[in-house]
Amino acid sequence: MDSIYFHPNRFSHSNVLVTGAAQGIGKTVALRLALEGANLALVDRDASVHEYAAELQQSCTGKIFSVTADLENWEGAQTMVDETLSQLNSIDIAINAVGGTIWAKPFERYSDEEIIREIDRSLFTTLWSVRAELPGMIEQQKGTIINVSSVATAGINRVPYAAAKGGVNALTSALAREAASHGIRVVATAPGGTLAPARDIPRGPVPQSDEERAWYQDIVEQTLDSSLMGRYGTLEEQAAAITFLASKEASYITGSVLPVAGGDQG
């Protein structure tokens, strides 16, 4: 892979909120923003986000602080925004990166409780977050919201997750129309399969049976087959697309969902 080039000071004087910042795409986005001068509110439900914020603050010039909140409910989203505004006074950019498949199996094998949990994890975390972020942006008549969706909207063995991310796409498109008159852009990326270190906070149970492992392997094979490049992406490639959409370079882009999946359009 070629080196990832940073843009020093691209986000200096910008107040940026990043959810899901303790690991995965959200954590990598936070690192890039910190290196490019942003003031950051890092949000996660896991307390490790506090350690990560302190680590970034040691080497970066912007103000960086952290919030623990469960974004699967409205109260958590409102707490996140209230604490961010108390520290940064405004939210110029909000990056909503919480979500992820919990189970991998054919749709008929999901229980009703599992379906609800998938929707709560990968749709309501974004829906509540955006609802909390929006009023302050309307008041200041500017802002950018970037949602993280997925090309798994056309994937197998995770229909509830696909439905949730389809909802994120619809939220992005519909809200962009409402928010444009307030000077607010609303966009999304749709990551494909992405290489990442083992998760400190598992999304769900590890496949145990041969059948469960086969269902997960079907997802891996479909991901590779759907990518024109025939590979998984990297966290840095996902962060590069998100930070581009967050930047002034993307000032004429709204309502769009950008696939970042090696040619897989989802």
Active-site residue set: 161
Tokens of 227: 């990518």
CB half-sphere exposure, 15, CA atoms < 13 A: 18
Amino acid at 234: T
Tokens of 226: 């759907």
- DSSP letter assigned to residue 207: P
Tokens of 32: 């890039």
Per-position DSSP letters for 141-180, written without gaps between them: T-EEEEEE--GGGG-SS-HHHHHHHHHHHHHHHHHHHHHG
The count of other CB atoms within 10 Å of the CB of residue 53 is 22
Residue showing tokens 């008159």: 181
Q: Report how far residue 13's alpha carbon sits from residue 21's, in angstroms, rounded to the nearest whole number.
A: 20
Tokens of 59: 């080497």
| Exposure class string for 177-187: b at 16+ Cβ within 10 A, else e | eebeeeebbbb
Phi-psi region of 121 (alpha: psi -120 to 50; beta: other; left: phi over 0): alpha
CA 222 to chain CA centroid, nearest Å = 22
Give SS3 for 38: coil
Say if residues 259 and 265 touch (Cβ distance below 8 Å).
yes
